Structure 1
Amino acid sequence: MLPPRIVRRLIFAPLVIVLTVAVILTLPVWLVFGFIVGLRLPPPRRRGLRLVVFAVVWLALESAALIASLELWVASGFGGRLSEASHQERHYALIRWLLTNVYGAAVAIFRLSVTIDEPALTGEEVARRLTRPIIVLSRHAGPGDSFLLVYHLLARYQRRPRIVMKAALQFDPSVDVMINRLPNAFVPKKIAESGIVAEISRLASDMDADDALVIFPEGGNFTPARRFRAIRRLRERGLPAEAARAERLDHLLPPRPNGAIAAMTACPEADVIFVAHTGLDDLITLGDVWQHLPEEARITAKWWRWAAEDVPREREAQISWLFDQWTAIDKWISAQKEKDS
C-alpha cells in the first residue's frame, strides 16, 4: 500500500539522499561485493560489478534531482506557482537532464546501444510534425522501455511526454516528486478500466504542439499466462474475431482499444505514432536483469506515424486498425529476432 504523500516527502526523499551518501562513503566495500557476487553468476562475470556501479550512479543522480526539485519548489513560491508554464518547463528540463545522464551511464556501463528506424519525412511533414500533438502507442516489454521512450521524446524529439503510470512507481522519490508536478497520472493497481480511460482522456484533451501522450495498449508485459487470459477475456466478451487475431500474435498481448480511442477522441488533431522495439524483451524483473544481463545491451526500435486526417474515426474501424498495427509490430519483432538468431 502506497503511504500518504506527506510521508513520502518527509521520509522517502531524505532517505534516498542519506542512503546515497552512505553508499558513496562505503563504495570500496560495495565494489568488492559486486565483484565477488559476479563470480557466482553466469557469464559475463563482471555483471555484478557493473550493476553495483550503475546503482551508485543512479542513486547519485536521483539525489541530485531531489535536491534540484526542492530548489524548484522554493523558487515557485513554495509550490504556489508550480502550474505556471515557466516552472513546468524547468521540471521538464530537470527530467531531461536526469534521463540523459542515466542513459549515458547505461551506454558506458552496459554498452547499451539503441538503433531507431525512423520514416523519412518530407519538408511538409517536418513542418506538420512541429505543429501537432502526438499520441504514442508503444509495445510494453520490460522495465526499461518506458524510460527509453520518454528519454527519446524529451531529448531527441523535444516533446513533453504525458504518461498514465502505475501508482506503485511513486515509491521512487524522484519519480514521485517530479512527475506529480507535471500533467501525468498515477493509477492504483485495482482501478477500473473506466478510471484509466478517464485519465487518458483528461491528459489528451488539452495537448498542444509540444506534447506527446504515451500509452501502452497491452496494459502490461507479455507472458504466456497473460496472453491466455487476454484471449479468453475477448471470447467471454463476445469478440471472436479479435480473439482469433490475438491468437496469431506471437510476441504481444492484444491491444486494449479503449484508452487509445479515448485519446484520439479527446485530441482528434493529434498524429498517432506506433513504436515497436526488441532486444531486452526477457529482462522483465530485477532477477532477470541480475541473472541474464548480456555483455552488450542492444535495442532495436522502429516507429511509424499516421497523420491525424488518416486515422479512422469510427470505433469499429479504429479497433480493426489498432489490431492491424499490432500485427505489423508482431511481424517486425519476429523478423528482428530471426535476424539476430
Structure 2
Amino acid sequence: MDVPPWAVRRFVIDPVFVPVAAAGALLALGVAGLGLVVAPLLDRRLRVARVATLVALYLAMEAVVLVSAGVLWLARPALGRDRYERAHVLVLRRGVGLLVGAARRLVRLELEIHEPPRGPVPDGPVLVLGRHAGPGDSFVLVHLLLSRHQLLPRVVLLDSLQMDPAIDLLLNRLGACFLRNDGSQQDAAQRIGALAGRLRRGEALVIFPEGANFTPGRRRRLIARLRARGQWERAAVAEDLDAVLPPRPAGVLAALAAGTVAATMIVAHAGLDELATPADVWRAVPFGAPLVLRWWWVPAAEIPPSATGRTQWLTMHWAVVNAWIDTQRATGGPAEPAERPAERVEPGEPEVRNVGPS
C-alpha cells in the first residue's frame, strides 16, 4: 500500500485517528476483561488479557503522542527550534520507555545486555547498525539509545511505517529517513548520506542494514532472487548466514562517506528472534526467555577508508553477529557469571541484567 501524501496524513488521518485510537483502547480493555473471565477455562496463561492490555496501552499512547505533537506545533513559535526538538525527544523517550516497561510487566519482556568494557565516549556522532528480527527489537534499541546511552536516534526505517500516525509524526519531526526497501528509490543512499552529514555530537544514525525483519522464509526467498539475478557472490554470503540477512552496504557506505561518524555501534540480539510470525509470538506469550543484546564499538579510525574495504568490513561484522547468534542458540544463552551487578531499574523501565561481554 502506498503511503498517502503528507497533507492527507496531517490534516485527515491524524485528527481522525485520535478518537479512533481512544475508542480502540477502550475496546481492547474490554477484551482484556473478557480474557480474565474466560482465563480459568480457556487461557490459563492469560494471553488474551496480556496482549489486549498491551494493545490498549499502545493505542492510548498513540492518541497521547498525536495530541502532544499538536500542542507542540501550536507552541513552536514560543519554544524556538532547540526547545521544540527537546520536547519531542522527551515525548519519544517517555512513550517508548512506558511501552517497553509495560511489555515487561504484561508479556515478561526481560532485557539482558552484554557490552564491552566501557571506553571513552565517542567525540562525535555514532552510527548504529542493528540486527532486525523478532518482536519489538527496534523499539528496544531506540529505548536503550535514549535512556542508557543518552543518544538522540535519527532512524532510517521503512516508508510503510508512516502508516502509523504517531511514528510518522514524531519521527519525521526528529529527522527520521523513511525509505522503501524494494530498490525502487534511486535517491535512498543520498538521503542517508545527507542525514549523516547533519548529525551532531550526542546523536546516533540508526540503520538496519538487512533492510527487513529476518525470517527463515525471507532468507530463502532472497537467496532464490539473488541466484535468479546471477548475483552469485551475494547468494553465497546469504547461504553462509543462517541467522541474519546479508547486509545491504549502500546506506552504510553513504553514512560513513559523510565523514561525521566518530564510532560505529554494531548491535546483535537473540532470544526472541525466532518468533517470526504473529502466531509464534502468540504461542510464546508470556515470554520465557530474555531478549539478549550484545554490541561492539568500532572507532572510526578502525574502519577501512575505501568503499570496497568498508563493504567487506560490514560483511565480516555481520558474520560475527551471525556466529554470536548461533552460539546463543546452541548454548541456550550465556553461561558465564555476571561481571557487574545488575543496575537499578527505574519505575516503568524493563528489567535489565547487565553482564560482561560474551
Shift of 1:136: 0.8
Map residues 1-341 of structure 1 onto 2, 5 A cutoff. Answer: 1-23=2-24, 29-35=30-36, 45-77=45-77, 84-122=81-119, 125-126=120-121, 129=122, 131-188=123-180, 190=182, 192=184, 194-232=186-224, 240-296=232-288, 298-340=290-332
Q: Which amino acid aligns with 1:45?
A: R
**What amino acid does structure 2 have at the position aligned with 1:136?**
V
Partner SS state of residue 173, structure 2: coil
| Amino acid corresponding to residue 257 of structure 2 in structure 1 | T
Amino acid in structure 2 at the alignment position of 1:338 = A
- Aligned amino acid, residue 116 of structure 2: P
* Segment of structure 1 superposing worse, 289-298 or 311-320: 289-298
1:75/1:338 CA distance change after superposition, 3 Å: same
Decide whether aligned partners of structure 1 residues 318 and 191 sit closer, same or farther in structure 2, where only a CA change above 3 A counts.
closer
- Aligned length, in residue pairs: 332
> 2:222, 2:205 → 1: CA distance?
24
Partners in 1 of 2:56 and 2:17 — Cα distance? Answer: 11
- Does the 8 Å contact 1:279/1:300 carry over to 2? yes
Deviation at residue 151 of structure 1 after TM alignment: 0.9
**SS at 1:77's partner residue?**
helix
Structure 2 distance, partners of 1:193, 1:277, is 29
Q: Is the 8 A contact 1:169 1:176 kept in 2?
A: yes
8 Å Cα contact 1:44/1:294 also seen in 2: no
- Bigger drift between 152-161 and 58-67 goes to 58-67
In 1, Cα distance between equivalents of 2:296 and 2:29: 47
Q: Separation in 2 of the partners of 1:241 and 1:29?
A: 53
Mind listing any 5+ residue stretches in structure 2 that lack a counterpart?
334-358
Deviation, structure 1 residue 284: 3.7
State the one-letter code of the partner of 1:226.
R
Structure-1-length-normalised TM-score: 0.87
Residue 243 and residue 67 in structure 1: after superposition, are their counterparts in 2 closer, same or farther (change >3 A)? Answer: same
Q: How far apart are 1:73 and its partner, in Å?
A: 0.4
Deviation at 1:153, TM superposition (A): 0.7
Which residue identity does 1:115 align to in structure 2? E
Give the percent of matched residue pairs that are identical in Structure 1 and Structure 2.
38
CA contact (8 A) 2:127 2:205 kept: yes
Structure 2: distance between partners of 1:179 and 1:292: 30
Given the superposition, is the C-alpha separation of residues 38 and 322 from structure 1 closer, same or farther in structure 2, using an over 3 Å criterion? Answer: farther
- CA drift at 1:186: 1.4
1:6 counterpart letter in structure 2: A
Corresponding residue for 2:338? none
> How far does residue 48 in structure 1 lie from its aligned partner after superposition?
1.0
Deviations 1:190-231 (CA, angstroms, capped at 9, x unpaired): 452542212211111121111111111111122334324444
Q: Do 1:207 and 1:267's aligned partners in 2 also have CA atoms closer than 8 Å?
A: no
Shift of 1:248: 1.5
Q: 1:110 & 1:298 partners in 2: Cα distance? A: 11
Q: Name the SS for the 1:9 alignment partner.
A: helix
